[in-house]
Amino acid sequence: MTRLTEKFPALPYVGPFAVFIVLLGAQNTLHINAKWEYPLRVLIVCGILWLVSRGVITKRPVRPLASMVVGILVFIIWIAPDWISPSYRSHWLFENALLGAAKTSLPTEVRASIGFLVFRLFGTAFLVPVIEELFWRGWLMRYLINADFQKVPLGSYSATSLFLTALLFASEHGSYWDVGLVAGLIYNWWMLRTQSLPDCIIAHGVTNACLGIFVIAGGRWEYWL
């Protein structure tokens, strides 16, 4: 595995995220019961993460408490528009043929499964922040500055890198692209401030953990598309 990562240095940053997205796209093709599809995806990606990526997250966070505050701030921003105006997300800017709608794809019986919810919360709060931060802040922000991204220190600034990464991050979030864009800009800014991948993972993880608890406790399933 060391030889493989030496030959393809982007693999530890891109690989787990790419596999997660491919499995997400293939869920209908594979015809796996919805109750088991997400747990299987989590287990597969965790295995890949352990095999290829554990060597690139070696430093300790430099501002863990501040990172938690950033994560809580992004969570508040994420739910604020819908809290202020319940009909906000039904606007055509957020509900259309391209973006779909802010409606969950989780069947009712899956939402009642404790086992599924445990895996979903774990994936949301722990796995997804790691693989996304590796990809977006660990690799893409640097790759957009120099294709030989290893020559670019974490937290290096480029306007193109900062805003294009945020835009692409926003596009990943469908009907929630607006708050996704703001979240992407904040996480990118936090990377510039801390120059620390673990700090961005903490911030992202706190956001997702708060959102996951909010979804389950309040029955706000539309946030889990």
Q: Over the stretch 51-67, which tens digit does the pLDDT of each residue have?
A: 999 889 888 999 999 99
Higher-pLDDT residue of 188 and 36 is 188
The pTM of this model reads: 0.95
What lies within 8 Å, CB to CB, of 105 at 6+ separation is 225
> Which has the minimum average pLDDT: 24-33, 116-125, 152-161, 183-192?
24-33
Say what the pLDDT of residue 144 is: 98
For the chain, give the percent of residues with pLDDT over 90: 87
Q: Which pLDDT does position 105 carry in this prediction?
A: 87
CA pair distance 64, 96, nearest whole angstrom: 39
Domain range list for the chain: 62-223
Residue 2, pLDDT score: 66
For residue 121, give the nearest of 26, 13, 42 by alpha carbon: 42
What proportion of the chain, given as a percentage, has pLDDT over 70? 99
For range 169-184, the mean pLDDT: 97
Predicted confidence at residue 124, as pLDDT, reads 97
Going by pLDDT thresholds of 50, 70 and 90, the confidence category of residue 1 is low
Three-state DSSP class for residue 87: coil
Q: What pLDDT shows up at residue 3? A: 72
**Across 88-109, average pLDDT:** 93
pLDDT tens figures, 120-151: 999 999 999 999 999 999 999 999 999 999 99
* Residue whose C-alpha is closest to residue 201's, from 92, 56, 45: 56
Around Cβ 141, how many Cβ atoms within 10 Å?
26
Average pLDDT over residues 156-163: 97
- Taking residues 4-27, what's their average pLDDT? 90
Please count the other Cβ atoms lying within 10 Å of the Cβ belonging to residue 41: 21
Amino acid at 145: I
**CB 65, CB 196: distance < 8 Å:** no
Answer with the residue of higher pLDDT: 25 or 74: 74
Q: Of the candidates 68, 74, 41, which has an alpha carbon nearest to the alpha carbon of residue 198?
A: 68
- Residue 101 pLDDT > 80: yes
